[in-house]
Amino acid sequence: MNNVLFWLSFYLLMLAVSIAIGYCKGNMVAGALLGYVLGPVGVILMLLSKNRKMLPCPECGDRIHRHTYICPHCQQKVLNRLQP
Ligand SMILES: [Zn+2]
């Protein structure tokens, strides 16, 4: 019985982690779905998935928010030049 409880809480933890990663990457629905269906595997998939919020700057390569107008690292205008 204890074993079942352990795995249940483990599974719920994985689901929460997956949703949290999805939230950070701007894709919370995918995080919830993957965590719900795949559990720990979904968490790994979310970790490997592309970050839809943060994109690499075309000038310096640093990860910046996709709605950023000027890159905070190299001061270049990057609006509409970020590729998802
Ligand atoms: Zn930059």
Q: What is residue 68's predicted lDDT score, i.e. its pLDDT?
A: 84
Q: What is residue 78's predicted lDDT score, i.e. its pLDDT?
A: 84
Q: What is residue 55's predicted lDDT score, i.e. its pLDDT?
A: 85
Q: What is residue 58's predicted lDDT score, i.e. its pLDDT?
A: 86
Q: What is residue 43's predicted lDDT score, i.e. its pLDDT?
A: 95
Q: Report the chain (84 residues): mean pLDDT per 10 consecutive residues.
A: 88 95 92 94 92 86 87 87 62
CA of 48 to the centre of ligand 1 (A): 23
- Judge if pTM exceeds 0.75: no
The full DSSP string for 5-51 is: HHHHHHHHHHHHHHHHHHHHTT-HHHHHHHHHHHTHHHHHHHHHS--
CA of 70 to the centre of ligand 1 (A): 8
Map out the domains of the chain as residue ranges.
2-52, 53-84
Q: What is residue 82's predicted lDDT score, i.e. its pLDDT?
A: 64
CA of 22 to the centre of ligand 1 (A): 25
Q: What is residue 54's predicted lDDT score, i.e. its pLDDT?
A: 85
